[in-house]
Amino acid sequence: MSSEAKKPNYTQLTDAQLQWPHWVYQWICIQLIHIYVSLFYTLRIHGRENKPKEWKPCVVACNHISSLDPPLVSVALDYMPISYMAKLELFEKPLMRLYNWLMSSFAVNREKLEISTVKTAMKVLKHGKWSLGIFPEGTRKKDGTEDGGGAKKGVAYFAKMGKVPVLPLAMVHSVQANGRKRIDIQIGKLIPPEDDIDAFTEKIQKTIQAMADETRSKL
């Protein structure tokens, strides 16, 4: 057997990673990061009335600014179980690999979307208790604006195939007058799935961008 055949496939999740122990692991990781953020940042969450009243599957989509984004999205949504799609490179180092395993995250090859990634995303949505977390911009943007490639179509595609809504969030980082860093998270209203992937992708992209712009204008 070749060494390539023995290489783990991080685009997949085991059944155990979608059971309650991993929700507890995720909760612990998020709590620790929340404590860290509380010490060094001012965190403000807006649009709490838009949070789903029940933990039903949806595709959570947010702009990407820093590595803190996934746990902070979970904080904003009251620790709703979310399996995040993360770039493959984040699984290369042992510590990050352990973190992603605890968080029930799975890998996506940004150069080529693998069928195993698609199957895992659908597995998450079909489970019934977990939501799928995607940062459609792909790369982190310090100012929270759209990158050159625009939003990926994955958010719209998975929402359509899974017959679940999209929950948009916008993340804005700023610095207060006293020099303390501030993070604002705006939670938007659920967007029902649509058949036209291109139009749906554009709607999601514009919604997140508008939320970010509005939040930034109020700072």
Q: What domains can be seen in the chain, in order of their start residue? A: 9-217 (3.40.1130.10)
Average pLDDT across the chain, whole number: 90
Q: For residue 113, what pLDDT is reported?
A: 80
The DSSP code for 87 is E
Instruction: Please indicate whether residue 6 or residue 57 has the higher confidence score (pLDDT).
Output: 57
Q: For residue 137, what pLDDT is reported?
A: 77
Q: For residue 152, what pLDDT is reported?
A: 75
Task: Summarize pLDDT for 116-139 with one digit per residue, the tens.
Answer: 999 999 999 999 999 999 998 765
Please report, rounded to a whole number, the percentage of residues in the chain having pLDDT higher than 70.
90
* Mean pLDDT, rounded, for 132-160: 71
**CA–CA dist 37, 71 (Å, integer):** 10
The answer to whether 107 and 117 have CB atoms below 8 angstroms apart is yes
> Does the predicted TM-score (pTM) go above 0.85?
yes
Both tokens of 60, joined, read 């959570």
Number of C-beta neighbours around residue 29 at 10 A: 17
Contacting residues for 80 by C-beta, under 8 A, at least 6 apart: 52, 55, 74, 131
Instruction: Please indicate whether residue 172 or residue 145 has the higher confidence score (pLDDT).
Output: 172
Task: Summarize pLDDT for 54-113 with one digit per residue, the tens.
Answer: 889 999 999 999 999 999 999 999 999 999 999 999 999 999 999 999 999 999 987 778
Q: For residue 138, what pLDDT is reported?
A: 62
**CA–CA dist 85, 136 (Å, integer):** 10
User: Residue 184 pLDDT more than 50?
Assistant: yes
Using pLDDT thresholds of 50, 70 and 90, give the confidence band for residue 6: low
